[in-house]
Structure 1
Amino acid sequence: MTTLEAPPTAPTARSAANPWTVVALLWPVALLNYFDRQMLSTMKLSMQADIPALQSAEHFGQLMAIFLWVYAFCSPLSGVLADRLNRKWLIVGSLGVWSFVTLLMGFTNDFNHLYILRGIMGVSEAAYIPAGLALITDYHRGPTRSLAVGIHMTGIYTGQALGGVGGWIAQTLSWHKAFFLFGLVGVVYAFVLLVFLRERRNTVEDESSASSQASTVEPPVQWLSFVLLLLCFALPSMAGWAVKNWLPTLLQDRFALDQAQSGLWATVSTSAASFAGVILGARLADVRSNLTIRGRTQTSALGLFLLVPALVGLGLAPGLTLTILAAALFGFGIGMFDANNMPILCQIAPPRFRATGYGLMNFFGIAAGAYLTPLLGRLKDSGVPLALCLALCALPTLLAVVLMLLLRPRDMDALVSAQA
């Protein structure tokens, strides 16, 4: 399969001309990546009428968790593939498959069929993020890296926000049509990427021949810092997935909101604030990184710290207004954090390990969410309030703040150039 080979050759003028075009092309993919997985959580009430098994919170948690577990275990392999194969084809194939699976979910009323389709979706969606982020960071080096990743992340937050639209469509039309329509959109857009997206592999600027590339020895991965980064990613991911998967249900239980209202409030409040947080966090990190090598880790730690009062507020706020404000604060903080994960990884790992490294980060982050999601369902069925569970998620998040401040990043791109 020579078409999938991606040896580290110097980028052509065609592929390197417009780094921001790549961000623009991948932005809708990021949107669909989260929209297609997330809208299920906002359509629970409508789907219960056709699938009685979903009346159990534990069964609903299992349906959410199978996606997370499969996604988690496939993420490291997806990262390895993205470091070795043509990332354009991985992205196009990933989008096409998960969108077709989403479309098929609109044709079933069987819990077991949905369970299998969610598992297949986990395999296909796992291939996107490591490849997409690695491609963006190969196009964007230095002072635009966090901003480029941050703008891409706004697509994810927009997808989360529009996930609430799925609940509205399910309530006004049907949940079957919601899955079918948005799956069809993704299938069509995969053909757009097939035409316009271009691969690029960064090489050291001074390299002038294949022999010099072969003799280049990249600096090693900072393994201690990488382990700390894995923990920094996994610990707040528990809170992140708890909020994504259970906040609509919490709003229904605590404030008697209907499906459309709870879905829109839960997704729009967090995602709109995340949109602002990711842009501000990206710009702040890019500016701070010119002043200190720890500028990105400090910005990320600030975002994590904001999650602590936000989670306490989600659990203990006495009214709907304060709960929504806490959700917005959570979204703002998670945006600052998300904008800098891949740029921080680029300060710890050389280019050959970055997609693999992000795949491993995805594994630990999503595995944490996969464990917690059904656990919260079981606790809810046994009478433990979801609000209390969300408030307790502040504890591992606070630990992540401390660990992030212990990271010791380096200018890995400069080290690669120096060793050429």
Structure 2
Amino acid sequence: MSATNGAAPTVQGHGTPGYRAAVLAMLLLVYTFNFLDRQILGILAVPIKADLGLTDTQLGALGGIAFAFLYSTLGVPLALLADRTSRTWVVTISLTVWSGFTALCGLANSFWTLFLYRIGVGVGEAGGVAPSYAIIADYFPPHQRARALAIYSLGIPIGLASGTLLGAWIAASVDWRMAFIVVGLAGVIIAPFFRMVVKEPPRPAVSAEHQRVPLGRVFAILAKKPSFWLMAIGAGFSSMCGYGLAFWAPTFFVRSFGFDLATTSYFFGSILLVGGTIGVFMGGVLADRLGGGDRGVYAKLPAFAWLICVPLFAGGFLTNNVVLAWFLFLIPNGLNILWLGPVTTAVQNLVPPHMRATASASFLLINNLIGLGAGSWVMGAMSDAMTASYGNEALRYSAVTALSFYLIAAVLMLFAVRTLRKDWVE
């Protein structure tokens, strides 16, 4: 399919349904590698800690601060570049860069070399998500966007589960270093195929002034909309807990349940894949069906989901019954990421179409600095601090304490319900 940037949008979207499905499938594949490359560090935390002699605080820093700072801050200028040039090229180059640095992680011989390589992974991934959101918003009509974004967001549970299962399998078969090398090189190989399949989507015909919209103008529009701040900070607190739990759960299963690496991968991978896939998809479906009559639904759904997560996650971490724990973790692992389809769709509709990638990156900047940057590090630091009192069970109580972040997220998102109705741009 050919695409011209001057084409006007229609309510039917762009391209044939079959081609839109192919575009979405390729974006989903790239997003899967995005989270596969993140989660592989979590499942390999135990052998990495033993090999490099790291503390929980250092491991948490590798999973959060090392990755998140440049990932979050560079996302905005790269999204602005994508809005002004080619979104598909930005995604292609980003995939190549982050995959290359993932492979280099397998060569690390100290905390600081691994820290620097994880920074490189963050630099690469900074250009992947926001342009992909904008590509989807350009290809799909408004009444299908939340569902399309939810399908794209399936890359999170699929990537997390794949990173858990594949990383553990390669590490058990060879070693933890080879796991990084294999998944990193696979992403490099996929990059040119993505560029061949996904054409630059046609965009609304806009003036030359809009084609060169200043970054400050996008910020100025978003800054005046309370719903943006409430959703971004609320999602940030949710991600603080979500990313922290995703990173530390494999180590918890090893320490508190006595699992080996393979058993941990099957146990946790199945929870992530089943629960996460259902939760993400249902979030998009419910938002599309219920949000047409009330835009506040896009904020209300995540708030209720996070409130339900807290007691279920707490029960899972506090029980010593393995079977019960699997079921208690399953449901909240779906509910905690149900927000992705509704909230990312809402952010797309706070600004005009030619500002979508930059608006998404602004949202991700706040969300990731709070959530991705602090989540795993805070939980690791709390675990180290609690070790004197709880010994090998410190990580269990660190995780339960961190669930309070979901309560904060839910309150902020409920405040966003009313303001979102006024801030929405069709």
Shorter chain as normaliser: what TM range? 0.7 to 0.9
Partner Cα distance (1:386, 1:140) in 2: 43
State whether structure 2 residue 384 is matched by structure 1 residue 381: yes
Displacement after TM superposition at 1:123 (Å): 0.5
| Pair 232,211 (structure 1): closer, same or farther in 2 beyond 3 Å | closer
Displacement after TM superposition at 1:386 (Å): 1.9
State whether structure 2 residue 364 is matched by structure 1 residue 343: no
| 1:87 match | 87
Q: Tell me, which stretches of 5 or more residues in structure 1 are unaligned?
A: 1-5
Is 2:14–2:138's contact at 8 Å kept on the other side of the alignment?
no
What is the letter of the counterpart of residue 9 of structure 1? G
| 1:253 match | 255
Displacement after TM superposition at 1:247 (Å): 0.6
Aligned length, in residue pairs: 403
Partner Cα distance (2:99, 2:8) in 1: 30
Partner Cα distance (2:302, 2:189) in 1: 36
Partner Cα distance (2:374, 2:147) in 1: 32
| Pair 141,378 (structure 1): closer, same or farther in 2 beyond 3 Å | same
| 2:117 match | 117
| 2:420 match | 409
- CA distances 1:241-290 after superposition (whole Å, capped 9, x unpaired): 11111111111121111122223322331332010111122111111023
What is the letter of the counterpart of residue 76 of structure 1? V
| Pair 212,89 (structure 1): closer, same or farther in 2 beyond 3 Å | closer
Displacement after TM superposition at 1:316 (Å): 2.4
Displacement after TM superposition at 1:387 (Å): 2.0
Partner Cα distance (1:210, 1:380) in 2: 54
Is 2:239–2:375's contact at 8 Å kept on the other side of the alignment?
no
| Pair 12,111 (structure 1): closer, same or farther in 2 beyond 3 Å | same
| 2:297 match | 295
Partner Cα distance (2:285, 2:422) in 1: 18
Displacement after TM superposition at 1:30 (Å): 0.7
**What secondary structure, in the 3-state scheme, does the structure 1 residue paired with 2:420 have?**
coil
Q: Aligned ranges for residues 307-318 of structure 1 at < 5 Å?
A: 307-318=309-320
Normalised by the length of structure 2, the TM-score is 0.86
Q: Which moved more, 1:291-300 or 1:167-176?
A: 291-300
What is the letter of the counterpart of residue 173 of structure 1? V
| Pair 177,11 (structure 1): closer, same or farther in 2 beyond 3 Å | farther
Partner Cα distance (2:147, 2:299) in 1: 15
| 1:362 match | 364
* RMSD of equivalent CA atoms: 2.9
Is 1:347–1:410's contact at 8 Å kept on the other side of the alignment?
no
What is the letter of the counterpart of residue 180 of structure 1? I
**What secondary structure, in the 3-state scheme, does the structure 2 residue paired with 1:291 have?**
coil
Is 1:90–1:128's contact at 8 Å kept on the other side of the alignment?
yes
What is the letter of the counterpart of residue 238 of structure 1? M
Displacement after TM superposition at 1:199 (Å): 1.3
| 1:31 match | 32
What is the letter of the counterpart of residue 103 of structure 1? A
Displacement after TM superposition at 1:226 (Å): 0.9
| Pair 228,212 (structure 1): closer, same or farther in 2 beyond 3 Å | closer
Q: Which moved more, 1:144-153 or 1:341-350?
A: 341-350
Is 1:83–1:352's contact at 8 Å kept on the other side of the alignment?
yes
**What secondary structure, in the 3-state scheme, does the structure 1 residue paired with 2:53 have?**
helix
| Pair 201,220 (structure 1): closer, same or farther in 2 beyond 3 Å | farther
1:268 aligns with one of 262, 270, 273: 270
| Pair 387,211 (structure 1): closer, same or farther in 2 beyond 3 Å | closer
Displacement after TM superposition at 1:11 (Å): 5.7
Normalised by the length of structure 1, the TM-score is 0.87
Is 2:42–2:248's contact at 8 Å kept on the other side of the alignment?
yes
Partner Cα distance (2:91, 2:290) in 1: 32
- CA distances 1:97-140 after superposition (whole Å, capped 9, x unpaired): 11111222233433322221111111101110111111111211
Partner Cα distance (1:363, 1:233) in 2: 11
State whether structure 2 residue 19 is matched by structure 1 residue 10: no
Partner Cα distance (2:203, 2:312) in 1: 39
What is the letter of the counterpart of residue 194 of structure 2? L
Q: Aligned ranges for residues 27-66 of structure 1 at < 5 Å?
A: 27-49=28-50, 51-54=51-54, 56-65=55-64, 66=66
- CA distances 1:339-384 after superposition (whole Å, capped 9, x unpaired): 2121111232332333223222222222223224223223322315
Partner Cα distance (1:378, 1:213) in 2: 46
Partner Cα distance (2:43, 2:404) in 1: 27
- CA distances 1:140-160 after superposition (whole Å, capped 9, x unpaired): 132211110111111221110
**What secondary structure, in the 3-state scheme, does the structure 2 residue paired with 1:16 have?**
coil
| Pair 7,120 (structure 1): closer, same or farther in 2 beyond 3 Å | farther
Displacement after TM superposition at 1:406 (Å): 2.4
| Pair 154,211 (structure 1): closer, same or farther in 2 beyond 3 Å | closer
- CA distances 1:194-239 after superposition (whole Å, capped 9, x unpaired): 2121112532xxx6x869989x999954521111111221111111
State whether structure 2 residue 394 is matched by structure 1 residue 397: no
Q: Tell me, which stretches of 5 or more residues in structure 2 are unaligned?
A: none
Is 2:8–2:202's contact at 8 Å kept on the other side of the alignment?
yes
| Pair 394,319 (structure 1): closer, same or farther in 2 beyond 3 Å | same
Q: Aligned ranges for residues 191-206 of structure 1 at < 5 Å?
A: 191-203=192-204
